[in-house]
Amino acid sequence: MTTRALFDAALAETQAWHAALPAVSGFVAWPMDLTYQDRPPNTLSAAGLVQTAPGGPTPASTPLLSALQALAPHLEWRHTYSADEVGQHFLDRFGWFELAGPDGHFITHQTRITVGYWGAGLHYGRHEHDAEELYTVVSGHGTFHLDDAPDLELGPGDTRFHPSNQPHALTTTDSPILTLVFWRGEGLGDNPRLTQSEATS
């Protein structure tokens, strides 16, 4: 399969995932302005970890997981955060990419669809952004924290909504987690900001 065909296959599985989860299809419409953008791969350790240790999927999430795993070596993986902010241990077990969005492998200005991976035993500290966000879990599990809301332990097919500029965090314990995340509203091209108190922890 060509690289382009791998991207198209992953996009098709993402669209099926979007359609199958009412919380997701109700959050944002599937974008109609998608155009493929050729981007050179940027390989981080997360590219290998997604293939070898993604965390357990469900039967419903296996096709999407498999499509993302096939894509892993071809992706423009990002860290955004520095070792000073989150530590090298974290960076060695974390990565994300923009499947679709203003700066993604597919360009759209109607939403942003990113994929994030965290290894087991990590704490992604409190952070926030202008855009509203809906997390979905593809494989593995983790505990989602949101200011003024109860913690939620989420696994494959589960979702969590994060309002605009409401700090949230994620903790993994005995399992990695792979997530597919949708944004809507203002600031689709922005990166999340760690809240002040987390910047040095």
Nearer to Zn ion, 36 or 161 (CB): 161
Binding-site string for Zn ion from residue 87 to residue 126, where x marks contact by CB under 5 A and - marks none: ----------------------------------------
H-helix or E-strand containing 132? strand 132-140
* Count of other CB atoms within 10 angstroms of residue 109: 11
Number of H helices, E strands in the chain: 6, 12
Q: Residue for token digits 């994060």? A: 162
DSSP-based three-state secondary structure for 197: helix
Q: How far is the CB of 40 from Zn ion (least distance, A)?
A: 26
Q: Give CA–CA dist 122/93, Å, rounded.
A: 8
Q: How far apart are CA 63 and CA 9, in angstroms?
A: 10
Cα distances from 16 to residues 51, 64, 172, 195, in angstroms, run 21, 9, 27, 34
Which stretch, 21-29, 71-79, 103-111, 132-140, contacts Zn ion (CB under 5 A)?
132-140
Distances (CA, A) of 87 to 24, 79, 84, 91: 32, 11, 6, 7
Give 71 or 181: the residue with its C-beta nearer to Zn ion.
Answer: 181
Of 64 and 169, CB closest to Zn ion: 169
Q: Does 132 bind Zn ion (CB under 5 A)?
A: no
Among 13, 98, 132, 133, binds Zn ion (CB under 5 A): 133
Q: Output the smallest distance, CB 162 to Zn ion, in A.
A: 5
- Contact segment (CB under 5 A) with Zn ion among 19-27, 75-83, 115-123, 127-135 equals 127-135
For residues 33 and 153, which CB has a smaller minimum distance to Zn ion in the complex? 153
Residue nearer to Zn ion on the CB measure, 7 or 90: 90
Count residues near Zn ion (CB under 5 A).
1
Shortest gap between Cβ of 129 and Zn ion (angstroms)?
6
Catalog residues that contact Zn ion under the rule CB under 5 A: 133
